[in-house]
Structure 1
C-alpha cells in the first residue's frame, strides 16, 4: 500500500481461495484490458468472459494472453456451456476449452433445464480436465428456490467435483439470491451458510449495496463475483473499511 494505516483488516494473499474477487468482462477491448490490469490486477483473482461473449469477442486469444501474462485465470460464462449442451456439442465444448488453453470452466443451468444428476455428471467429467466452477440458481426471476433446495444443489455439486459454487444473481443483481429490487434474500443466505462453508461459495454481487452487505456479514475475505472492472478499486476499499459504507465496521476488530 502507499502509506500506513492502523486497524485495516487483513486480506488473504494471492493465490487465494477465500477473499476472491471474480471480475465480469462483458467485452473489454485489448487496450481496456491493459488499462484494467495496470490498476486492478493485484486485486483480481479470476475473470469471467460473461455468458457467451467469447463467441463474438475479437482478438480473443490475444485477450486471454493478456490475462495469462498477468497471472489471472479466465473462464467463459456458463451460458456458453449451456449453448453447447442444448446443441448436443459437449465434446466440442471440451475441445474448445483445450483450443483456448482454459484451465477453468463454468457449468450452469440458468437458461436451460438440465436434470441435476446429469449436471453433476458434467461437473464430474469436466473436473478431470479443468477446474470446475458451477452455478446454482436460475436467471428466470419467476423461479424461486426454497433454501433447502439451494443447499441440496450446492452440496451435490461440490461433491461432484466443483471447486466453488456460484450463487446466481446475473450481471444485474436482481434474481437468484436477490429480490427483483436488488435486495438480498437474507433468510436464504443465512440458511445456506448453516450448511455450506462460506469459502466454497462465490456470491454474485454486482451492486455496491450487495457487496457491502456480504462484507459485513462474512467479512473482508468473502468471495464476490460479477464485479465490473471499474468497480474493482472501489470494492477493495469496501473490503478494507476505507469507504463510508464499511468505514466503522472493522475499526474495533
Structure 2
C-alpha cells in the first residue's frame, strides 16, 4: 500500500483460496490487458474469458501469456464447454485445453440441459486434467431452483471434484441468486450457507450493491466473481472499508 492506515481488515496474500476476486474479461485487447495487469493484477486471483469469447479473441495465445507472466490463472467460460459438449466434441474440448496450456476449466449447464449425474461424471473426468470450477444455476430467469436443490447440486459437484462452485448470476447480475431486478435472493443465500462452506463458493456479483451485500454478510474475504476489470480496485476499497458503502462497517470489527 502507498501509506499506512490503522484498523484495515486483513486480506490474505496471493495465491489465496478465500477473499477471491474473479474477473470477467469480455474482450480486452493485448494493450488493455497489459494496462489491466499493471493497475489491478495484484488484486486479481483469476480471470475468466467470458462465455465463448476465447473462440473469437485475436492473439489468444499472446493474451494468455500476458496473464501467465503476471501469475494470474485464466480459464475459458463455461458456455464454451457447453458449446463443445452439445456438438458431441467433449474430447476436442479437452484437447483445446491442452493446446492452450489451460490449468483451470469451468463446467456449467446454464445454457443446455445435462443430467446432473452426467455433469458430475464430466467434473470427475476433467478434474484429472485441470482444476475444475463448476457453475450451479441457470441463465434462464424463468428457471428458479429451490434452496435445497442448490445445496444438493453444489454438494454433489464438490464431491465429484470441483475445486469451487460458482453461484450463477450471469454478467448482468439478474438471474440465479438474484431476482431480475438485481436484488439478492437473501433466503436462498442464507440456506446455501447452512450447508456449503463459504470458502468453496464464488458468488457472481457484477454490481456494486451485490458486492457490498455479500461483504457485509460474509466479510472482507468473501469470494466474488464476474467483476469487471475497471471495478477491481473499487471492489478492493469496499473490501477494506475505504468506500462509503462499507466505511463504518469494519471500524469497530478490526483490532
- Shorter-chain TM range is over 0.9
Structure 1 residue 178: Cα displacement: 0.1
The answer for the alignment partner of 2:5 in structure 1 is 5
The secondary structure found in structure 2 opposite 1:48 is strand
Unmatched 5+ stretches in structure 1: none
1:6-63 superposed Cα distances (whole Å, 9 cap, x missing partner) = 1100001110000000000000000000000000010000000000000000000000
Report the secondary structure of 1:64's partner residue.
helix
Aligned equivalent of 2:207: 207
User: Hey, what does 1:25 align to over in structure 2?
Assistant: 25
Cα distance in structure 1, aligned partners of 2:177 and 2:12: 25
Supply the distance in 2 between the matched residues of 1:29 and 1:82 (Cα, whole angstroms).
Answer: 25
What is the rounded CA distance, in whole Å, between the counterparts of 1:142 and 1:176 in structure 2?
9
Residue 126 of structure 1 corresponds to 126
Aligned match of 1:101: 101
Unaligned runs of 5+ in 2: none
Structure 1 counterpart SS, 2:230: helix
Scaled by the length of structure 2, the TM-score of the pair is: 0.99
Kindly provide the CA deviation profile for residues 135-183 of structure 1, in whole angstroms up to 9, marking residues without a partner as x: 0000000000000000000000000000000000000000000000000
Quote the Cα distance in structure 2 between the aligned partners of 1:232 and 1:53: 20
Distance 1:190 1:7 in 2: 28
Equivalent positions of 1:233-252 (< 5 A) are: 233-252=233-252
What's the TM-score once normalised by structure 1's chain length? 1.00
- Aligned residue in 2 for 1:61: 61
Q: Matches of 1:188 and 1:7 in 2, distance apart?
A: 32
1:76 paired to 2:88: no
Equivalent residue, structure 2, for 1:173: 173
Counterpart of 1:219?
219
Distance in 2 separating the partners of 1:181 and 1:247: 25
- Is 1:147 equivalent to 2:140 in the alignment? no
RMSD: 0.3
SS at match of 1:195: coil
Give the drift of 1:246. Answer: 0.4
